[in-house]
């Protein structure tokens, strides 16, 4: 492994420690040990991904993991104290899921679902007056996409193939409903169908 990759791994461990410190220090004193154990559990997808990247010698993957941890650190630091642990879980679970940037060469079902969701969201945006959503509408879309990503990532982090297939199918079906909806109804359909997909998984 090159010196650059070794530095990436060093940065990764430092980043992980920063996230842990931020999450644990935000918890009430009597909950800090419990929070530490929970936070360490959420590191598993990241450690697993790092081990695989080191085994394969994939330095690009290692660099991407470092970026993920840096982004997670920023998001966790910005989150309210009572949300830090959940935000950390969602951020690190995302490491387990395929990256849209690797489509179409990765998980075919994931890539098909992602393509449909992208088309659905583009349809919602295009349906807004002058192709520009209001702040409230944009907030709905942003929250919907965040919840979608979190649900999909958790399925991959848990490693249950049947559950992954079920989640991808549910969001693919939800996206199909948005694509088929009339322009005026797209945002409402997006909110309802994606919420149902999340609730069912």
Q: What is the pLDDT of residues 143-158, one digit of tens each?
A: 999 999 999 999 998 8
Considering the domain architecture, whether residues 176 and 160 belong to the same structural domain is answered as: yes
DSSP conformation class of 105:
S
d(CA 38, CA 1): 32
Considering the domain architecture, whether residues 85 and 141 belong to the same structural domain is answered as: no
pLDDT tens-digit readout, 30-87: 999 999 999 998 888 888 877 877 887 778 777 877 787 778 778 888 889 999 999 8
Q: Which of 93, 110, 134 is the last residue of a domain?
A: 93
Closest CA to 93 of 132, 147, 46: 46
Q: Which of 66, 93, 120 is the last residue of a domain?
A: 93
This prediction has a pTM of 0.77
Considering the domain architecture, whether residues 87 and 131 belong to the same structural domain is answered as: no
Total domains present in the chain: 2
Considering the domain architecture, whether residues 88 and 137 belong to the same structural domain is answered as: no
Count CB atoms within 10 A of the CB of residue 153: 21
Instruction: List the structure tokens of 192.
Output: 């309802």
d(CA 137, CA 122): 13
Task: Please state, in angstroms and as integers, the Cα–Cα distance from residue 44 to each residue in 27, 71, 130, 164, following that order.
Answer: 21, 17, 45, 18
Q: Which domain, by its residues, includes 16?
A: 3-93
Cβ-based neighbours of 83, under 8 Å, separated by 6 or more: none
């Amino acid at each position: 492994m090159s010196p650059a990759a070794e530095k990436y791994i060093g940065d990764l461990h430092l980043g992980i420690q920063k996230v842990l410190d931020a999450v644990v220090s935000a918890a009430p004193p009597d909950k800090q040990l419990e929070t530490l154990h929970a936070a360490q559990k959420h590191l598993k997808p990241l450690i697993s991904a790092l081990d695989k990247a080191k085994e394969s010698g994939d330095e690009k993957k290692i660099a991407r993991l470092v970026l993920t941890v840096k982004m997670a650190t920023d998001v966790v630091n910005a989150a309210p104290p009572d949300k830090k642990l959940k935000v950390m879980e969602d951020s690190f679970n995302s490491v387990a899921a395929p990256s849209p940037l690797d489509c179409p060469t990765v998980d075919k079902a994931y890539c098909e679902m992602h393509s449909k969701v992208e088309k659905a969201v583009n349809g919602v945006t295009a349906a807004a007056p002058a192709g520009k959503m209001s702040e409230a509408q944009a907030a709905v879309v942003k929250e919907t996409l965040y919840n979608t990503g979190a649900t999909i990532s958790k399925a991959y982090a848990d490693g249950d193939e049947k559950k992954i297939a079920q989640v991808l199918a549910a969001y693919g079906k939800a996206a199909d409903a948005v694509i088929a909806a009339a322009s005026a109804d797209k945002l409402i359909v997006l909110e309802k169908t994606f919420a149902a997909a999340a609730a069912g998984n």
